[in-house]
Structure 1
Amino acid sequence: MSGAPGPGFRPTHVVPPRGMPAWEAPDPARPTVPLDPLLPVQLLGRRGDWAHIGCANGWAAWVDGRGLVAVPEDPPVADGPPGAADPRPLLARAAEALAAYRSAVDELAAGSLAGEDFADRTRGLRIGIVVDGEAVWLYDPEESRWMYGDGRRLTTYATDRAVTGDTGPGHAPTRLVTPDGEP
Structure 2
Amino acid sequence: MTAPGFRPTHVVPQHGLPAWEEPDPARPTVGLDPLLPVRLVERRGDWGHVQCSNGWSAWVDGRLLVAVPQDPTAPDAPMARTADPRPLLIRAEEALSRYRSAVEGLMHGDLDGEGFGALTLGLRLGVVVDGESLWLYDPDHGRWLYTDGTRLHTYAADEAPRTAPRSPGPAPTRPMPDEPAHGTPDEPTRGTPGEPTRVVSPDGDLR
The bucket for the TM-score relative to the shorter chain is 0.3 to 0.5
Larger radius of gyration: 2
TM-score, structure 1 as length reference: 0.47
TM-score, structure 2 as length reference: 0.42
